[in-house]
Amino acid sequence: MSFAVAIDGPAASGKGTIARAVAAHFGFLHLDTGLLYRAVGRQMLDGVAALKAAEMLTPDRLDDPSLRHADVAQAASKAAAIPEVRAALVDFQRAFARRDGGAVLDGRDIGTVICPDAEAKLFVIAAPEIRAHRRCAELRASGFDVTEAEVLDDLRARDERDMNRADAPLKPAEDALMLDTTEMSINDAVAKAVAVIEKLR
C-alpha cells in the first residue's frame, strides 16, 4: 500500500531535515525533489539545454556534491520556472510518491501539483534570517566559504522567483498543515511533524 507525505516550503526552512527524519521514523523512502532541479541546473551551467537535461536525467546524477553550490541553486530555480522542464520531471516524482511502502517527497509543489492527493501535507516556513543562518552553517560545514548576507541574498532571489512563477509556484496546498520552525529546535519540529502524520495513518 502507498502512503504519500508531501513536505513543501522555501529553501532552508527545515523541510529537508524534517522529511529525512519522518522517512526514517516511518520506514518510508525519501526523495528530495530539489535535487532533480539542481541536477538540471548543474548541467545548464555546463552548457546543456535545460529541457534536454531534464529529459535525460538519471538518478545517479543526484549524488553529485557540487549540487549544493549556490550557483547551482540559482540555475535550478531558473530551470524550475520553465514549464516543459517541470513537466519532464512529473512522472518520476509521481511514481516515487505511489510506490509501495510509503514515500516522503520534499519540494515546492508536491502538495499542490505532484501529489495533490497525498495522505499528509506539510508546509514548512521560517523567518528568512533564521533560514540564512542555518543554511550558512550547513554550507560552511561542507567547506563552502560563504557569508550569511550572501546566503540571505540567494534565498531571497530564489523565494522571489519560486513564488512568482506562473507554473507550480511555491505556495501551500489548501489542506496543508503549516509548520513555522523559526523558534523551534529541529527535534521539536520533527516531533510535531511525526505526531501530525501519525494521526493520519
Question: Site size for ligand C5P, by CB under 6 A?
Answer: 14
Residue number with CB closer to ligand C5P (71 or 198):
71
- Cell numbers of 118, please? 497525498
Q: What Rg do the C-alpha atoms of the chain give, in angstroms?
A: 16
How far apart are CB 57 and ligand C5P at their closest, in Å? 13
Q: Are the C-beta atoms of 7 and 25 separated by less than 8 Å?
A: no
Q: How far is the CB of 67 from ligand C5P (least distance, A)?
A: 8
Determine if 7 is a binding residue for ligand C5P (CB under 6 A): no
Q: Is 10 flagged in the annotation as binding? A: yes
- Closest to ligand C5P by CB, 8 or 190: 8
> Grid coordinates in use for 191?
516531533
Sketch the per residue contact string, 82 through 111, with ligand C5P: x for CB under 6 A, - otherwise. Answer: -------------------------xxx--
Residue 112 in contact with ligand C5P, rule: CB under 6 A: no
Q: Which of the stretches 34-42, 53-61, 144-152, 188-196 binds ligand C5P when contact is defined by CB under 6 A?
A: 34-42
Please name which of 121, 107, 125 lies closest in space to residue 169, comparing C-alpha atoms: 107
- What dihedral do alpha carbons 106, 62, 65, 161 form, nearest 10°? -50
Annotated binding-site residue? 11: yes
DSSP notation for 60-121: GGGG-GGGGSHHHHHHHHHHTT-HHHHHHHHHHHHHHHTSTT-EEEEESSIIIII-TT-SEE
CB of 81 to ligand C5P, least distance (A): 7
User: Of 152-171, which residues contact ligand C5P (CB under 6 A)?
Assistant: 158, 162
DSSP state of 56: T
Whole-number Å distance between alpha carbons of 44 and 56: 13
Which residues contact ligand C5P (rule: CB under 6 A)? 11, 33-34, 37-38, 73, 76-77, 80, 107-109, 158, 162
Could you list the residues known to form a binding site, using ranges. 9-17
Q: Binding site for ATP: which residues? A: 9-17
